[in-house]
Structure 1
Amino acid sequence: MWGRRDAFRLGGVGLAVAGLAACSRVDGGDGDGGGEGGGQSTLDRLREQGFVTVGLASEIPFGFIDDAGNPAGQSPAVAQAVFEELGVPEIQAESVAWDGLIPGLQASRFDVIAAGMFINPDRCQQVAFSEPTATSPEAFLVNEGNPDDITHFTSFVDNSDLKLAVLNGSVEQDYAEHFGIPEDQLELIPDQTTGYELLDAGRVDAVSMLSVSHTYLLLDRGGPFEVTEAFFPEIDGTQEKGWGGLAFRQEEASLVEEVNRVIAEFKENGRLLEIGEEWGFTEADLPDDVTTAELCEG
């Protein structure tokens, strides 16, 4: 079903899925070239061990484990290409619930979040984001024909009989709460597949995620569903165009600087678009001039 998108095509570099016990940890030192006593930097450690561990949250096509057991999606592909340029030839991945990504990173269960996580002020207090790598408008996965005429988060405020599934801890949950959807109309889910299954079982009337996520889930799973027209929510007169990036522990300033240097090169030479195209992203989904610092300010 996935065709050429079902595996990385980045020079044949090996990819592996690692269990928690195999994930690397930071034992002393920090990302700025070493801790007390001038310990080994994180990047040097990654180069020495030959791999970087990434956390992802099973959201097609941003980051997931494919049928062959390999990490796949736009965000892991960006991480793979960036770290390959930095002298780290392999990525290993751990799939966790969305709301477990930041705690897992902070606990050093993996080195980077590669899940298309949107950059916002609250998250910037917890992790250090790279510069943006992609975006996508919002949409809803609904029953074929959209019988309940669901077009926006306000559709659920206007009809109290409707129930919406959102990823726990996601920006969609924030949108739902901002637009006033009551708690009893929200079903908090750990991953994309759970939302699909709840919709299929008739337990929810829609699933809220990014438009490209729904589109590729339908390619993978099929079913009597459709994706509503995409949109960027408007709050206080401004369109909320979210940008996703890689996320690191806050003490990894030097590592983030190196990652950003490569991302800037990829943006300039077209590599970022090339990587994204493998997963359905277009030039319109690539970063404009907005910076992570601006997104962190809100």
Structure 2
Amino acid sequence: MKIRIAYLEEPPFGWSGPNGPAMGADIDLATVVLRAIGATEIEHYLTTFSELLDGVATGRWDMNVPLFITPERAQQVAFSVPVWAMADGFLVRADNDKALDSYASVAERRDARLGIIAGQVQHESARAAGVSEDQIVVYQQQAEAIEAVRSGTVDAYASTALGNRILAERIGGSVLRAVEHRPVTGSVLEIPFGAFSFSKNSDDLRHAVDRELRSYLGSAAHREQMARFGFTHKEIDPVLSVG
């Protein structure tokens, strides 16, 4: 059985290795699960975020690496059980001279510019917090957004707090650093869940993946595997009660 899975160039979740093979936390999780359900061949397709949903919905590949679950996306694709919970954060220059630590802090600074990847949930989160469209710069690839922060074209790049933390460690704290979002006073921060996605016509594959995920998520082997990519109980434990 051959399974085709699409991924993004977005460490620590997925990226292309020096010799071509895909690697990363989401790639490794998919490999364990797909091998367990009988996949004898796994093909990886590097794509852009804007192509993920349409690509799997139209059968260009069989499944996508995990992305945030939203009602709008669920109209187009079918999601697996959640596999991680992930809060947002910023990647900023080391001095963070505008003291950006939340979407609200960007909205308060009319001269602040925020980089976001096209189609990702951070765009709507920023708008909901009052960030205006003229403060938002949309990029197709993560590498473009990182370079925009480095060069000063934007003041921050919005993505997952975990992903930005790993990026900052790799790039070096003297250049860029990660900032976890400051909680809004008096509110309960709901951390969104991410899941694999499939065509709505792929029930057999999705159900098989779900069965294996339910037995694997939260196990010692799973925690050890994800820890290599910076995942902790904060990203894993919230999904265990909803699978």
In the superposition, the TM-score normalised over structure 2's length comes to 0.92
2:62 corresponds in structure 1 to: 111
1:94 corresponds in structure 2 to: 45
State the distance in 2 between where 1:109 and 1:183 align: 32
* Cα distance, 1:232 vs structure 2: 6.4
* Cα distance, 1:281 vs structure 2: 0.5
* Cα distance, 1:252 vs structure 2: 1.4
Contact in 2 for aligned 1:128/1:248 (Cα 8 Å): yes
1:126 corresponds in structure 2 to: 76
The yes-or-no answer on 1:261 pairing with 2:211 is yes
The yes-or-no answer on 1:61 pairing with 2:7 is no
State the distance in 1 between where 2:193 and 2:150 align: 30
State the distance in 1 between where 2:128 and 2:180 align: 20
2:125 corresponds in structure 1 to: 175
Contact in 1 for aligned 2:218/2:237 (Cα 8 Å): no
State the distance in 1 between where 2:73 and 2:166 align: 26
* Cα distance, 1:216 vs structure 2: 1.9
Letter in 1 for 2:233: E
Instruction: Could you tell me which runs of 5 or more consecutive residues in structure 1 were left unpaired when the two chains were aligned.
Output: 1-46, 293-298
Instruction: Could you tell me which runs of 5 or more consecutive residues in structure 2 were left unpaired when the two chains were aligned.
Output: none
Contact in 1 for aligned 2:48/2:141 (Cα 8 Å): yes
Letter in 2 for 1:138: D
Contact in 2 for aligned 1:141/1:207 (Cα 8 Å): yes
Letter in 2 for 1:100: E
Contact in 2 for aligned 1:166/1:187 (Cα 8 Å): yes
1:40 corresponds in structure 2 to: none
Q: Deviations over 1:147-184 (max 9, x none)?
A: 11001001121111010001111111110111121111
Alignment of 1:15-34 (within 5 A): none
* Cα distance, 1:291 vs structure 2: 3.1
SS in 2 for 1:54: strand
State the distance in 1 between where 2:81 and 2:109 align: 39
Alignment of 1:34-49 (within 5 A): 47=1
* Cα distance, 1:231 vs structure 2: 5.2
Alignment of 1:275-294 (within 5 A): 275-288=225-238, 289-291=240-242
Contact in 1 for aligned 2:64/2:198 (Cα 8 Å): yes
The yes-or-no answer on 1:225 pairing with 2:169 is no
* Cα distance, 1:240 vs structure 2: 2.5
State the distance in 2 between where 1:129 and 1:211 align: 22
Larger radius of gyration: 1
Q: Deviations over 1:17-44 (max 9, x none)?
A: xxxxxxxxxxxxxxxxxxxxxxxxxxxx
* Cα distance, 1:233 vs structure 2: 7.0
Alignment of 1:148-167 (within 5 A): 148-167=98-117
Letter in 2 for 1:225: L
Q: What is the RMSD computed on CA atoms of the aligned residues?
A: 2.0
* Cα distance, 1:88 vs structure 2: 0.7
In the superposition, the TM-score normalised over structure 1's length comes to 0.76
Identity of aligned residues (%): 24
State the distance in 2 between where 1:167 and 1:291 align: 28
Contact in 1 for aligned 2:89/2:181 (Cα 8 Å): yes
2:157 corresponds in structure 1 to: 207
